[in-house]
Amino acid sequence: MAATQAAAYDSKIEGNVIFTRLDAALNWVHKNSLWPMPMGLACCAIELMATAASRFDISRFGAEVMRFSPRQCDVMIVAGTVTYKMALAVKRIYEQMPEPKWVIAMGACASTGGMYRSYAVLQGIDQLLPVDVYISGCPPRPEALLAGLIKLQEKISGERSLAAQKPALTEKLEEALA
């Protein structure tokens, strides 16, 4: 009789190994732990606060850690009227955020200047920053901000994170695998 073979099944690592694509894993980590930079500039910031508070509870979507330091943020929520005097300060704060980073233009003013067709107001933050999600409303309801956040999560899950963050390494890997 042949000796009994050890089973391929190894109970020590059962449940501890998963197979996935690296991008999918990175995106899953990014999208479920978005730390917002609350760029509250006008009344939209009140709705942003309501979204973070218990009734709407943005932490259900993993985005409750509002940081007032741009160095610790993933997503800038531009909530309110961007005046020309503030515009370059907003851009500077965005530039201080580490990659990868996203921008949500919350409300009519941040998206297009809104009702302020005026000498003092920037006509949409997308003139300065690459906006990922626009949210309509004046101001948008907290549900709308949450819907925008979910849209951003959908967008993040389709991204090629590794290629975007480590282009040289990705190229090397692709060459080795080819």
Partner 1 sequence: MTGAELLESLTKVFGAKIQSQTEFRDETTCTIGAEDLREVAKLCRADLSFDYLLDITSIDHYGEEPRFEIVYELYSMTLAVHLRLKLKVSEDVGAVDTVSDIWPTANWHEREIYDMMGIKFNGHPDLRRILMWDGYPYFPLRKEFPLEGLPSEMPDIAFSQAAPMEGGPFVTQPSTATVKDREPRARRPEL
Q: Which among 1-9, 110-118, 148-156, 168-176 is the span making contact with partner 1, rule CB under 8 A?
A: 110-118
**What single-letter DSSP state applies at residue 144?**
H
Could you identify the residue written with the tokens 């933050």? 125
SS3 (DSSP) at 84: helix
What is the distance in angstroms between the CA of the first residue and the CA of the last residue of the chain? 45
| Alpha-carbon span 121 to 74, nearest angstrom | 26
Q: Which among 1-9, 49-57, 115-123, 150-158 is the span making contact with partner 1, rule CB under 8 A?
A: 115-123
When the beta carbons of 85 and 172 are compared against partner 1, the nearer one is: 85
When the beta carbons of 42 and 163 are compared against partner 1, the nearer one is: 42
When the beta carbons of 33 and 96 are compared against partner 1, the nearer one is: 96
Q: Give the chain's radius of gyration (CA, Å).
A: 21
Site for partner 1 in 75-94 (CB under 8 A): 84-85, 87-88
| Alpha-carbon span 175 to 40, nearest angstrom | 45
Regarding 119 and contact with partner 1 (CB under 8 A), the answer is: yes
Q: Which among 23-31, 40-48, 111-119, 142-150 is the span making contact with partner 1, rule CB under 8 A?
A: 111-119
Q: Strands, E, within 82-174: which ranges?
A: 102-106, 133-135
Chain residues in the site for partner 1 (CB under 8 A): 84-85, 87-88, 113, 116-121, 123
